[in-house]
Structure 1
Amino acid sequence: MTEPIHEDLSPAERFDRAYAVMRSDDFLHMRGQLGEVPYFILGHPAADEPEVGAQVKRLVGRLRADGIEVCEVDLWALARAMWAETGQWDAILEQESALPKDSFADVGNVISPQKYLSPRITSIVRAQEPTPQLVVLTHVGRLYPLVRAHTILNTLQPLLSDLPVVLVFPGEYRQSPTQGASLVLFGQLLDDDYYRAFDLLKLGNP
């Protein structure tokens, strides 16, 4: 049986609950994860997407007001910056409608999680001063299908496992004792099996 995505929660209630978990000492000091990587999924229904940006901003603002150092990484903005650095992005956008789909393989290579994107995320976190106490990753859905959420998390783990990392995910993190765990983008597209993370909203709310 899969776990629910807390469909009964409004966007504000969902992020209020996330705030309560993320500000706790147990969360910040990664207690109770039994040696697992401190990666967490903050899922939300795709229908809530228009409100999520404001809720993330409110969440991060509240945490910072509590004196908690947060490193927020907008994955879509980071990818655009990396594409812009190639000097080819404007040309690709201008010709997008005329280009064959396989032309975008090169676009995806520029933000390959293993080679480029995850190391870049890590460098952003390490460069922030004061040192962050937690990391929040947003807008992963905008990178689909060039980059999948589970690939970012898998390639990030060897580089960044000493801080809690929260992925704001437009979909469900389904966990089942018989079928394992998987990320389901927009509640419909199976991103892939991924079992190393915890459902953030279930912490303290079984």
Structure 2
Amino acid sequence: MDQRLHNRLNQIPDKILSPEFLSGQGLGNEIGFWIFDYEPEHELDVRAYIEFLEGMLANKHSHLKVLNINLLKSLVGYLSDRNFVDKAIQMQKKKGDEALLKALKGPLHMDKFAPYLTEKHSATEQDIIFITGVGSVWPLLRAHNLLNSLHSLLGHKPVVLFYPGQYNGQELSLFGKIPSNNYYRAFRLIP
């Protein structure tokens, strides 16, 4: 594992267990959304660390309710609940990726998907929410759209988005190559 990434990952527990983080203090009335950005080639290392972190939190801080929303699993569950999976596969085979993306824009609109996420996972009842799998759902879902939609649903609830790309406090760049609309409401978890 890259030493810089290793050092940044090892700072996460102290940060997310701090009273300021858990209560949203010190944010100047901003939302409690945080982004941990990393180079996409370290995806497997970050996944392994998140698994370790979840286990550590469950063992040593079992009083905290920690939720990891994997966007790929959630997206498949959402489409499956609506009987769209087989239809989507058939459409992609017959008409291609562009037609599928266009057809899924309505069902995957954040006015529908974000409330599904919060309800399905009882997100408002959690102490900390991790969001993973951002790279796996692109271009079906965009991180800035999701965060904007979750803001009204989760408010000051501490949310950490694990992001394979760069976030400079103003802009997201997925994989370091795909620019996103400006998103300035989140904080970098570990610079």
After TM superposition, the score normalised by the length of structure 2 is: 0.88
Q: Is the 8 A contact 1:174 1:183 kept in 2?
A: yes
Q: Is the 8 A contact 1:82 1:110 kept in 2?
A: no
Other-structure match for 2:180: 191
Is 1:44 the counterpart of 2:38? The answer is: yes
How far apart in 2 are the matches of 1:112 and 1:123? 16
Superposed, which structure 2 residues align to 1:160-179 within 5 Å? Answer: 160-175=154-169
How far apart in 1 are the matches of 2:3 and 2:131? 24
Unaligned residue ranges in structure 1 (runs of 5+): 1-6, 176-180
How far apart in 2 are the matches of 1:96 and 1:36? 41
Is 1:119 the counterpart of 2:108? The answer is: no
Partner SS, residue 146 of structure 1: coil
Other-structure match for 1:72: 68
Other-structure match for 1:82: 78
Residue 127 of structure 1, CA deviation: 6.5
Unaligned residue ranges in structure 2 (runs of 5+): none
Q: Is the 8 A contact 1:183 1:191 kept in 2?
A: yes
Structure 1 residues 160 and 18: CA distance shift in structure 2, 3 A: same
Residue 57 of structure 1, CA deviation: 1.0
- RMSD of the TM alignment (CA)? 2.0
Q: Is the 8 A contact 1:108 1:147 kept in 2?
A: no
Partner SS, residue 136 of structure 1: strand
Is 1:9 the counterpart of 2:4? The answer is: yes
How far apart in 1 are the matches of 2:172 and 2:13? 22
Structure 1 residues 189 and 127: CA distance shift in structure 2, 3 A: closer
Is 1:182 the counterpart of 2:171? The answer is: yes
Cα deviation 1:92-147 (Å, max 9, x = unaligned): 32553432312332223222212x2110122134378xx42111111012121121
Residue 174 of structure 1, CA deviation: 1.4
Percent identical across equivalent pairs?
A: 26
Aligned pair partner of 2:102 in 105, 108, 127: 105
Given residue 172 of structure 2, which amino acid in structure 1 is its aligned partner?
L
Structure 1 residues 163 and 127: CA distance shift in structure 2, 3 A: closer
Other-structure match for 2:13: 19
Structure (1 or 2) with the greater helix fraction: 2
